[in-house]
Amino acid sequence: MKNILFLLFVCFLSFSSFTKVIHPYHVGSVEINYNSKSKTFEITGRFFLDDLENGLAEKYGKPFHFNDEKYKTQLNSALKNYCTEYFKLKTNNQFLKVNYVGYEEDSESVNVFLETETVNNPKKVEAAVSFLYNLFDDQMNIVHIIVDGNRKSEKLTYPNRYLFQQY
């Protein structure tokens, strides 16, 4: 029964948009996709807008507001630092440099975009994902790793932040 609920929950994250109603769950999703043409991992994290605002405010001790142009520079700086601390990626036993690319928001959610340095032939992928663990002790991050079309997904629940996949 737990597996069925988990699969339904993953489907909800994958195919529906976040709703504006108060959400009883603290959840985000992170997709780590290997682009064989650029030989980089392209990472997209998707989070509830209010959760990410509150997580940044808790971390940096000042308010942040998405959907307000005057905060854009502050948000880019804070998100770059936040992602550096709460996301690490390793492949073939080597840590990869992960670069912050930017973010995109709507009224309900925020997508955060990252990209790694180039890497050839990733066979072993390890990730440390702890987005919003600084705010919620019930935070759940659904992580999808895709290498050469082979998709593997895992649920990380606070305080568990590490995952490993072999390709």
Domain boundaries, the chain: 26-166
What rounded mean pLDDT belongs to the chain? 89
Q: Tens of pLDDT along 85-99?
A: 999 999 999 999 999
- The answer to whether residue 9 scores a pLDDT higher than 60 is no
Cα pseudo-dihedral 25, 53, 104, 38, rounded to 10: -80
Question: In what helix (H) or strand (E) does residue 6 lie, and over which residues does it extend?
Answer: helix 2-15
Taking residues 43-72, report their average pLDDT: 96
**CA 155, 98, 38 angle in degrees (round to 5)?**
100
Percent helix, percent strand, percent coil in the chain, to nearest 5 = 25, 40, 35
What does DSSP say about strands 27-35 and 124-129: parallel, antiparallel, or unpaired? unpaired
Report, as an integer, the average pLDDT of 52-76. 96
Would you say residue 5 has pLDDT above 70?
A: no
What is the tens place of the pLDDT at every residue in 137-166? Answer: 999 999 999 999 999 999 999 999 999 999
CB-based burial label for 165 (10 Å; 0-12, 13-18, 19+): buried
